[in-house]
Amino acid sequence: MRVLLVEDDEPVAESLRRGLLRYGFEVAWVTTGEAALGHEEPYDVVLLDLGLPDTDGLDVCKALRERGNVPIIVISARSDETDRVVGLELGADDYVSKPFGVREVIARIRAVMRRAQPRTEAAAGPDRYGSRLTIDRKAARVRLDGAEVALAPKEYDLLSFLTEEPGALMSREQIMEAVWDANWFGPTKTLDVHVAALRRKLAGAITIEAVRGVGFRLEIARDSSAS
Ligand code: CA
């Protein structure tokens, strides 16, 4: 997923950029409103600071929204409630106040992307992964070749998390935080047990590669019968 980051504050932008890269996002970083509006590479979501050196971020928000429906998340140091309301009225999809954590920003990106899906996809049904696996996130149901797979609640949560960004390397810490507990410091053996269960139950549809010393990477199995 490609993120256009519009932020003139270098330390803020750098830490956000590094955090997003770590989670598998691609990041294009610009520091002015003019550069944001002139950016020509395609992107999937915009993170837009309101306090820019050349223009008011709210004007950039309005201009971006007039051009299309790419999701916009406004980030601001202004604690003013009016900014939030005006930003949303001008077409922003969500809003985060500084200071914020990378995880919070990522959660919001995922949420706005999920909401944005129906705009571009004709049918908002279960998510398809390759030819064999579907995940119905509303009903929390997983099907393999059309047959429902019985997963324990944490197995489902783990699969749901890892399939948000197929191919992205997730560290053990990120997974433990997201799936088990926000403040997990203990051993992560339970994670290995759940990974093993998913590999067994979804064999052939996905692979979960262990990256030694780091974490795991889920890949969707390629179609073997491409006809
Ligand atoms: Ca700023």
Cα of 83 vs centre of ligand 1, distance in Å, is 14
Give dist(CA 35, CA 41) in Å, integer. Answer: 12
To the question of domain 120-220 being in CATH 1.10.645.10, the answer is no
In the block, residue with structure tokens 């770590």: 22
Cα of 8 vs centre of ligand 1, distance in Å, is 5
The domains of the chain are located at: 2-116, 120-220
Q: Which amino acid is at 179?
A: V
Residue 193 CB burial class (10 angstroms; 0-12, 13-18, ≥19): exposed
Q: Residues 29-51: pLDDT tens digits?
A: 999 999 999 999 999 999 999 88
Which stretch, 8-22, 30-44, 84-98, 131-145, has highest mean pLDDT? 30-44
Cα of 6 vs centre of ligand 1, distance in Å, is 9
Confidence (pLDDT) at 181: 66
Ramachandran angles phi, psi of 86, nearest 5°: -65, -45
**Cβ neighbours, 10 Å, residue 170:** 24
Position with higher pLDDT, 120 vs 78: 78
Confidence (pLDDT) at 122: 43
Position with higher pLDDT, 177 vs 166: 166
To the question of domain 2-116 being in CATH 3.40.50.10490, the answer is no
Cα of 28 vs centre of ligand 1, distance in Å, is 16
3-state secondary structure of 225: coil
**Cβ neighbours, 10 Å, residue 215:** 21
Cα of 23 vs centre of ligand 1, distance in Å, is 24
Q: How much is the pTM?
A: 0.57
